[in-house]
Amino acid sequence: MKKTILHIALLTSCLCGVGVRQVKAQQTAAQVFRAAGTPQNPKVTVNWTRYYDYDGLTEICAKLAKAYPDLVKLETIGDSYEGRRIWALTISDFTTGDPERKPAMYIDGNIHSNEIQGSEFALYTAWYLVENFQDNKFIQELLQQKTFYILPIINPDARHNFMHQPNTAQASRSGMIPLDDDGDGLVDEDVPDDLNKDGHITFMRRKSSNGRYVVDPQNPLRLIPAKPDQPGEYELLGYEGLDNDSDGLMNEDPPGYYDPSRDWGWNWQPNYIQPGAYKYPFSVPENRSVKDFVLRHPNIAGAQNYHHNGGMALNAQGAEDQNTFTREDNQVYDLLTRNAQQVIPGYTYSVVYKDLNSAFGGELDWFHGARGIFTFSNELMSPFLQLDRKVASGEEREAEQQELNKMLLLTDAFVEWKPFDHPTLGKIEIGGFKKNFPRAHPGFLLEEDAHRNMAFTVYQAYQLPQLVIQEVNTRKLSNGLTEVTATVANNRILPTHSSQDLKHRIERPDYISLRDSTVVSGMVLESAGANRGKEQKLNPARLEIPNVPGMGSVKVRWIVSATKPNLLVEVDSRKGGVVSQRF
């Protein structure tokens, strides 16, 4: 028995020694068995099961740019209201051409203060692409052909405030511009407060014969409505807080109660029609910076905005009176969404005004309506990824959240009820969910959902226009003339111009040029098999093409005054990229 105890003591001592040495050492590539779909030995190591504040995300961005100078460019596109820089990452294979002359995918996150996971999702995409570039042929070809513009945090002040100041999961969605929301001439005087100084702002309740709630017999942490023949035991008093201005209200005057996602210059409405709208379109400085960035990059053909919770892929139809969608555009959205529903279990394809509520002045509406960009706004974390496929609401949804906290988080997301003497309410109890749940993903779901959404945006980028010059044929004519016919195809789902783009002439036409000074005539043929077309008399060497449809083609023809013309053909499209070929 003594020998056994001695052996155990010696083994424990040895293991402890090994453990100390392993903490100090770096694991080598030989010690790692690579899991499919993950980088083997990333240059920038990031734990994607946690959240990072503004400084933390800034550091990750800087490390990526330093580690991959041929794939990543980091720039600031403007400053927030409180002076924080708004970062933009350009991800592309810079050795294969100018990223601004490739079709581009735009991604952003964290427009709302308490919808923080969008930043991690956006930055995970940048990290995944560059860390897998060396070993993944698909990603190599994708970044050779396409560009990603990724803005992880477009509301940096609000992110900083949400993480570092007392807040709740339901904190104001706005930025940090101060507003007097209750009209008493004071700003920010009635905000939720951590009364018991436990590091969390949770709920207040108190026992009352007039209460409408009783303790759930299945879960003592939860209150449920009392039955009609059952006496109530508790009344809910809202979040922890005080009536600082003696107006009889608590928590009603938070910092800056406006909605940055109701500030965009498409179908914008004032606050009395659309609650949350600020002074005028793009009155929020962060949104103006994003708008200016998008206008400087007309190669953006697809976009993705990340929000928080619900498991929905929303398209750009915020209000029912918009006339921005045609059958052709809807077909593109439908094809893209099929992929989302496959790779993100439980996600549903939804239309804002049909499936949620009318929203005027939304970001995704501006992207599609004003810029003609095919845009999705994903509400993240499908209930399917939590406990089951059921999408619940109200009290039923709250019960599911309690079950998730109990069964998968082992009650870590909830602060148990504790007594507290409130200066005006008397003896109360304080407890409830922490601010990191349920709107924010639990850590174990964060990386999985980030990866699935990344895969969806990569698919969108893959389906951006891909133009190829299929063939060029010549035919000798009389009088030293030669007929040159070229066919240009688009091998992807997205057209070079959406119907909204064509309707409002948002972007210039595509150009198909024959680099030969002897061109005397040029025309766009009516169809691939037609032998007639519409002549372009002005500058016939550079033909203007309204659109190259998805999975379609166009045919053009020139007459040149040469028996051996220069057969260098170039296609130049804002959203379809630039390609040239000599025949």
Cβ burial 528-545 (10 Å sphere, 16+ → b, else e): eeeeebeebeeebbbbeb
- Could you tell me which residues are beta bridge partners of residue 214? 224
- Could you tell me which residues are beta bridge partners of residue 554? 488
Rg of the chain on CA atoms, in Å: 29
CA distance 411 to 419: 19
* Residue 379 annotated as catalytic: yes
Which pair of structure tokens corresponds to residue 433? 């969910």
Task: Please name the residue that has the structure tokens 């998968």.
Answer: 408
Task: Please name the residue that has the structure tokens 């793009």.
Answer: 282
CA distances from 435 to 196, 239, 255, 442, 454 (A): 15, 11, 17, 11, 25
Distance of CA 402 to the CA centre of its chain: 28
Catalytic residue among 252, 286, 379, 429: 379
Which of 99, 560, 107, 473 shows the shortest CA–CA distance to 294?
A: 107
| Phi/psi of residue 197, nearest 5 degrees | 55, 40
CA distance 576 to 299: 7
DSSP state of 539: S
Tell me how long the chain is. Answer: 583
CA distance 144 to 96: 6
CA distance 98 to 107: 19
Q: Which residues are catalytic?
A: 379
